[in-house]
Amino acid sequence: MKKLAAILSVLILLSCEDDVNVDLNEADPVLAFDAWIYGKAEKQTINITRTNTYFDGSNPEGITGASVLVVDEDGTVFPFNEESPGVYSWLPASAKDSFGTVGKTYFLDVQIDGKQYGSVSRMGRVPEIDSITWRFEEGSFGLDDFYVAEFWSRDFEGQGDAYWIKSWVNGTYLNKPTEINVSFDGAFSPGGNADGLTFIQPIRDGINPIEFDENDEFVPPFTAPGEDSVFVEISSITPEAWFFWNQVIIQTDRPGSFGELFAPSLANVESNIQAEDDEKVVGFFCVSAVKSLGRKFTEDAIREVPE
């Protein structure tokens, strides 16, 4: 009887739906830097904005009038000119002039209202993408048969190489928190034995979209050869950038519901950009070499998997 009474008490408590109003302190806005630079023969952009408070859904304020430079270790200056409020861009002198050189170190130098902000990044090496293939997966648990796309590339020998693998399916960039795909020495994290080998399968498979229908059922990425296409881009990143993206995943891929009770607390991800007076800023600066490859899903793109 006592057990039944206890259960009924819990059910009554769970059925309460009173609103609880919590007063939150207004956080001071901070500068946000989006300074990811790629070794491509095309316009490169650095965005500088000021953050909004948590419940403010308006677009963040773009910072105007800043001096934005990237300087390499030899003193070569790459000026980023203001294109629109908060948007600063560099244009190559010709269609053959890509940004940067693998192995060189680059310095970010930003002046805003007489205050200096800076950072440093080294452009790491990046391997070629040999091919993109699809493999057949037999359906289970009510799913129909489907196909999974894979990219094939080999990590360099020598530990310390980090990568950010981005993918586009039918021209759409996969940018969900669950679709952020980063690798260290071809595997998940530093300190392992995967150096100099083909990227491990979970990383290779990370180029597929992760979709769920209205019933929260998994939607297979590819069902048959046809008009689908995949484009993959590997960018070299610094170990610090690898850590940054892992923290972004933790902060954005939230479990929700009761799972939040055991999840890491929400917090700004650590920035590698410093202010001269230790002012708090957010964002990241990284200079990356890039390799890419695209392929259409045709019959000859299907890879036979040994049984």
Tell the burial category of 62 from Cβ atoms under 10 Å away from its Cβ (0-12, 13-18, 19+).
Answer: middle
- What per-residue confidence (pLDDT) applies to 24? 54
Residue type, 124: G
**125-135, pLDDT tens digit by residue?**
999 999 999 99
Band of pLDDT at residue 25, cut at 50, 70 and 90 = low
pLDDT band at 252 (very low <50, low <70, confident <90, very high): confident
> Residue 255 pLDDT > 60, yes or no?
no
Which part of the chain has CATH 2.60.40?
31-124+270-288
Q: How far is CA 127 from the centre of its chain?
A: 19
CA proximity to 108, closest of 71, 160, 159, 56: 71
Per-residue pLDDT at 209? 95
What pLDDT is stored for residue 22 in this prediction? 52
pLDDT tens track for 138-160: 877 667 889 999 999 999 999 99
The phi-psi region of residue 24 (left if phi > 0; otherwise alpha if psi is between -120 and 50; otherwise beta) is beta
pLDDT tens by residue, 260-301: 444 455 567 799 999 989 899 999 999 999 999 999 999 999
**Cβ 236 vs Cβ 170: under 8 Å:** no
Residue 35 above 70 pLDDT? yes
Choice among 12-26, 81-95, 191-205 with the minimum mean pLDDT:
12-26
- As a whole-number percent, the residues of the chain with pLDDT over 70 amount to 84
Q: For 31-124+270-288, which CATH class?
A: mainly beta
For residue 171, pLDDT beyond 50 = yes
pLDDT on residue 59? 83
Whether the predicted pLDDT of 228 surpasses 90 = yes
Q: In 61-206, which ranges are E strands?
A: 61-62, 67-72, 77-84, 87-90, 105-112, 115-122, 129-137, 146-153, 162-169, 172-173, 181-184
Stated pTM of the model:
0.85
DSSP single-letter state for residue 52: P
**Of 144, 307, 168, the residue nearest 233 (C-alpha):** 168
Q: What is the pLDDT of residues 55-114, one digit of tens each?
A: 666 788 999 999 999 999 999 999 999 999 999 999 998 878 889 999 999 999 999 999
pLDDT over threshold 90, residue 8: no
Cα first-last separation, the chain: 58
- Cα separation, 221 vs 208, in Å, equals 6
Which pLDDT score, from 0 to 100, does residue 12 have?
A: 45
* Per-residue tokens: 184: 């260290």
Strands (E) located in the chain: 31-38, 44-50, 61-62, 67-72, 77-84, 87-90, 105-112, 115-122, 129-137, 146-153, 162-169, 172-173, 181-184, 211-212, 218-219, 229-237, 274-275, 281-288, 290-296, 302-303
Quote the pLDDT of residue 95.
Answer: 79
Residue of 20 and 31 predicted with greater confidence: 31
